[in-house]
Amino acid sequence: MGFYLGIDAGGSKTECVLADETRVLARAATGTVKLMRVSEEEATARLCGMLEGVAATAGVSLGEVSRSCFGLAGVSSAAVRAWAAKAMGQIAGGELIVCGDEEIALEAAFARGPGILVVAGTGSNAIGRSVSGDLFGAGGGGPVLGDEGSGTWIGLEAIRAALRAQDRIGLGGVSTCLLREIERHWEVGSLSELVALANRRGDGGGPAPDFATLAPVVARCAEQGDSLAAGVLERAGEELAGLVALVFHKMTADAGGTGAEIGVAFTGSVLSEIAAVRAAMVARLEVSLPAARVREPAVDPLNGALWRARQGGDAGRATTGAGR
């Protein structure tokens, strides 16, 4: 009997599943192992603890594992791939498949068929597989260079928009509860403290702030009628629709201009939990990309990682801008 590990390592958490050929035997989770966020030592310790826990629950030795699929953020980095191979080689037996976290979500949605997957959680990007099996991507530049429509982007844009509104008080600026609610969430007592915390870069003054945690705060403000917060969420959805359109046009250009309908799936906390962002993305796609057919509900990337571990082999060929 074979045993298979599927691992989904995103920007905020890491989850895994251990299964045999037909049944899921156990699941476990830990904090992020993304090397942009934690050291190699911490990442390895978290991964090891999670996998030892899932193996103990399943009553299976990690040395008995036939194949693992490790889907993780930042996989285009040689250092990330090397760490993943080294860490898994020390922990579990069998073959190892390392791929992007967006790739396993694509597998969960479409197996090896064509389609586009848009990811919006801590970060954001989109990946698509054409009928010929080639992969195409867009986005995924990270919090400084990109990640439009992500939780981090929403948090940053909310603060920026609220500060601009604050500066325009008395000059027709829009009233907003964003600054007050963000101060409360970050447990700071004044606007100056908020600005200082937002600009902290993780040096001796303390850890850098996690802007992605502000996305639910922005969503609550929007639900309470705050137009500025609602506008940020609408723009987030439009940015994500733009990533989908970019991937679609790359795929159709590669196929010689075929404009057939294409399935669009999604994953990540922003699109899964913030309905306003999801609605804005769908609305923009209906206008800008009528060929898109958005599928609900959100896909579970772990299902794709497990499917890939059981099947083995490569997910696709000639990746263009995918898996950054």
**pTM summary value:** 0.84
Tokens 């911490």 — which residue? 42
Paired tokens of 201: 């870069």
Tell me, yes or no, if the two domains 3-93 and 110-298 fold the same way.
yes
What DSSP assignment string belongs to 128-179? EE-TTSEEEEEE--HHHH--TTSHHHHHHHHHHHHHHHHHTTTTTPPP-SHH
CATH, range 110-298:
3.30.420.40
Those residues whose C-beta lies under 8 Å from the C-beta of residue 1, and which sit 6 or more positions away, are 20, 21
**Coil, strand or helix at 264:** strand
Tokens 């206008």 — which residue? 287
**Coil, strand or helix at 49:** helix
Q: Which residues pair with 155 in a beta bridge?
A: none
Can you give the pLDDT of all 324 residues of the chain as single tens digits?
799 999 999 877 899 999 999 999 999 999 999 887 888 999 999 999 999 999 999 999 999 999 999 998 778 788 899 999 999 999 999 999 998 888 898 989 998 889 999 999 988 999 999 988 899 999 988 788 879 999 999 999 999 999 998 887 755 556 789 999 999 999 999 999 999 999 988 766 678 899 999 999 999 999 999 999 999 999 999 999 999 999 999 998 766 555 578 999 999 999 999 999 999 999 999 999 999 999 999 999 999 999 999 988 654 433 434 444
Domain boundaries, the chain: 3-93, 110-298
Q: Which residues pair with 13 in a beta bridge?
A: 31
| Amino acid symbol at 231 | G
Contact by Cβ (8 Å): 8, 302: yes
CATH, range 3-93:
3.30.420.40
